């Protein structure tokens, strides 16, 4: 068999679109910035280069203190959610799996809710959401192993049960603290608000490690697609690969949602788009999903902060507006196969 490699046209094409999305995200907004000045400022970051024609002090402050951290955070969160979604789909051999399958979203939502209604330091919200997401998946694994061993079906059903329980607790907490309801739902709908580079630096190590681990398993996910028994005959430890990818995807997803809220559909829509365009091999799907996911979320955030300017929509509303119709088309197109 010939090895499957990422075609150069898809690699360069996705990178070109990503660069265009980043430049749009940096220049477009309530305080518009000139494209030439933004490009000059970026080029001047290279040591030894000092081009004229950059931004003035006010524009530079908008770029580096407000706009750039938000765009970079969108790149990280979008790439991570898409990678995690593709990894989950490969592990569970289910094209409808997404990063929130095992209770990450419910756990993160409950943790963030507790932090918000407590009235304490708002900087604790990301930490509480991250902790809740990890604990939610840990509870899912414990329940799944206790009732079904290593069965993926048992793990998925355990995720449904744990998510339902955590969501019910969150609903009860919200009802008891109705004065914080608006802020809680603002977080749940997703947003990419930043106060500088702190959020980016907080999640960067987790997302970087998770992305490297998932990408390193792209060949094994191709082998795993034939089934765990067949993969075992080829020398691939299916259970260990499944656990490693799920742990990496969970860690990265928990870190992403801790600073962005629950942004839906990125992890399920983007891998499907990549498969439709470039094929089903995970050696192609995973790197392209990261690039397309980053582009998708940066563009969605751009729409969210400009379509009702000077107001702002939650970015999760924009991704759902695009993702829900696409998901419907995927279900209709898959009906024949099923």
DSSP 63-121: IIIIIHHHHHHHHHHHHHHHHHHHHHHHHHT-TT--TTTTSHHHHHHHHHHHHHHTT--
**Residue 230's pLDDT is what?**
76
**What global pTM score does this model have?**
0.91
Q: How confident is the model at residue 195 (pLDDT cuts 50, 70, 90)?
A: low
What are 164's two structure tokens? 């339902």
Average confidence (pLDDT) over 103-119: 90
Average confidence (pLDDT) over 247-256: 93
Question: Which overall architecture, per CATH, does domain 8-335 show?
Answer: Orthogonal Bundle (1.10)
Compute the mean pLDDT over every residue in the chain, rounded to the nearest whole number.
Answer: 87
Q: Which of 70, 112, 289 is nearest to 200 (CA)?
A: 70
**Residue 121's pLDDT is what?**
66
Q: How confident is the model at residue 71 (pLDDT cuts 50, 70, 90)?
A: very high
What are 34's two structure tokens? 């000139």
In tens, the pLDDT along 7-16 reads 778 888 889 9
What are 140's two structure tokens? 């899912």
Sequence spans of domains, the chain: 8-335
- CB of 157 closer than 8 Å to CB of 141: no
Q: How confident is the model at residue 334 (pLDDT cuts 50, 70, 90)?
A: low
């Amino acid at each position: 068999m010939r090895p499957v490699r990422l075609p150069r046209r898809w690699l360069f094409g996705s990178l070109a679109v990503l660069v265009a999305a980043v430049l749009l995200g940096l220049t477009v907004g309530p305080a518009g910035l000139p494209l030439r000045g933004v490009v000059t400022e970026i080029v001047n970051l290279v040591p030894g280069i000092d081009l004229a024609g950059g931004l003035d002090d006010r524009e530079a402050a908008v770029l580096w203190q407000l706009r750039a951290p938000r765009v970079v955070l969108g790149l990280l969160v979008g790439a991570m959610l898409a990678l995690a979604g593709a990894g989950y789909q490969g592990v569970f051999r289910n094209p409808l799996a997404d990063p929130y399958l095992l209770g990450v979203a419910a756990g993160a939502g409950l943790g963030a809710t507790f932090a918000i209604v407590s009235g304490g330091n708002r900087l604790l919200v990301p930490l509480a959401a991250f902790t809740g997401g990890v604990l939610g998946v840990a509870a899912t694994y414990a329940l799944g192993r206790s009732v079904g061993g290593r069965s993926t079906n048992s793990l998925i059903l355990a995720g449904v049960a744990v998510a339902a329980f955590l969501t019910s607790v969150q609903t009860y907490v919200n009802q008891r603290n109705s004065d914080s309801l608006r802020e809680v739902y603002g977080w749940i709908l997703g947003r990419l608000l930043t106060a500088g580079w702190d959020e980016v630096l907080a999640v960067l190590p987790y997302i970087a490690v998770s992305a490297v681990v998932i990408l390193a398993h792209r060949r094994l996910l191709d082998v795993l697609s034939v089934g765990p028994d067949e993969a075992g005959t080829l020398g691939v430890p299916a259970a260990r690969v499944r656990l490693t990818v799920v742990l990496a995807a969970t860690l990265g997803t928990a870190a992403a949602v801790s600073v962005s809220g629950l942004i839906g559909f990125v992890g399920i829509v983007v891998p499907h788009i990549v498969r439709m365009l470039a094929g089903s091999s995970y050696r192609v799907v995973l790197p392209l999903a990261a690039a397309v996911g980053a582009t998708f979320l940066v563009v969605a955030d751009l729409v969210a902060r400009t379509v009702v300017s000077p107001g702002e929509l939650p970015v999760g509303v924009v991704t759902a507006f695009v993702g829900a119709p696409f998901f419907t088309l995927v279900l209709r197109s898959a009906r024949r196969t099923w």
